[in-house]
Amino acid sequence: MWTSIFIPAAYLLQSTTAITDGGVKELPATEIPSFVLEYAPLVWLHSQDVYMPSDIGQQLVHTTPMVDWKGISGASSPLTLDNLDSLNDLGNTSVYLTSHEGIDAQPQPPWFRGTVPDQQGKTEGAISSVIVVRDHNNGTLDAFYFYFYAYNQGNTVLGMEFGDHIGDWEHNMIRFQNGSPQAIWYSQHAGGQAFTYNATEKQGKRPYAYSANGTHAVYVIAGNHDHAIPHLNLPVGFVVDHTDRGKLWDPTLSAYAYSYDANSRTFLPYDPSYPVNWLNYNGQWGDDALPGGPELFGQAKYTAGPNGPKFKKLLREKVCPSDPCTVLPFRIWMETSEEQQRA
């Protein structure tokens, strides 16, 4: 177990500085385009997933910024969403928000498990989602819906779990044309899939996104998804994600929202109550890859935490972040069995 992390005392006193949704303006009261909320995805969390959506600001309370497993001298204390980008001058992309307990802590600390959505689908007291709007200024508008989790539990292959990491950013992106949804991107590990809006399963106008058990990759249908081949998932295979209709989460009920200017590469909050500087942070949202430990085919059990929303190809010409880009006009394996949905 990794236990040799030095934690400056100042960081252990941050529990009173957590940023929650108290005093944060609800999205419908802002000037965000109404259709961005009208068509926002609803997320089905897996029925057996214990790692729920998490408060973005709380991640700073439970972590210490480090480079090469050493605390950074001169870092702001307390660290908040308003000053997180100051770490860019103290290590830039080499900075890791390193958990106090360690990624392999046993038992795991409660904060790994986030906040269970209530009956309305809200993560009460936890801002766990971010919407970023990029207007192409030609009738096309991209709305990114980011979902944050404090912990990612990887897949199990041949009896070994691999790909666990602290911090997890996933997203959907909906492309609108003159306010009408055209296509939606589902992020899945190193790749993802795109579908026409009409192809998606919906509640009213809002498309469903199915979050995989532990990994939180988002899929268009419930069932089993082998993702051994990027941009392609099959109902059976070697590296399988599982989705079902467990708990329904409405990310828009506890979210910050921003517009993104393509020319200046800057974020503008839709309300002054939304912190903005954290979006410019260049480092990672979890621990560095744990030295040593078991591996499977070169894949480690404990891997490095991810970087944030600004690195998710906010400026993309197609609905996909890279080529080739295929926008599917139908859902594959539309009829999943009850056994698959419970898997």
Residue 25 structure tokens: 């303006």
Predicted confidence (pLDDT) at residue 338 exceeds the cutoff of 50: no
State how far the alpha carbon of 217 is from the alpha carbons of 125, 126, 220, 286, in Å. Answer: 24, 20, 10, 17
Q: In whole angstroms, give the CA distance from residue 252 to residue 41.
A: 9
Per-residue pLDDT of 11-59, as tens digits, reads 333 333 333 455 799 999 999 999 999 999 999 999 999 999 999 999 9
Nearest to 52 by CA among 131, 123, 120: 123
Confidence tier at 114 by pLDDT (50, 70, 90):
very high
Weakest-pLDDT range from 84-93, 151-160, 176-185, 263-272? 151-160
Question: CA dihedral in degrees (313, 141, 181, 317; nearest 10)?
Answer: -40
Whether the per-residue pLDDT at 6 is higher than 50: the answer is: no
Dihedral (CA of 58, 63, 65, 67) sign? negative
Residue 228 confidence (pLDDT):
66
Rounded distance, CA 302 to CA 165, Å?
Answer: 6
Mean pLDDT of 218-232: 81
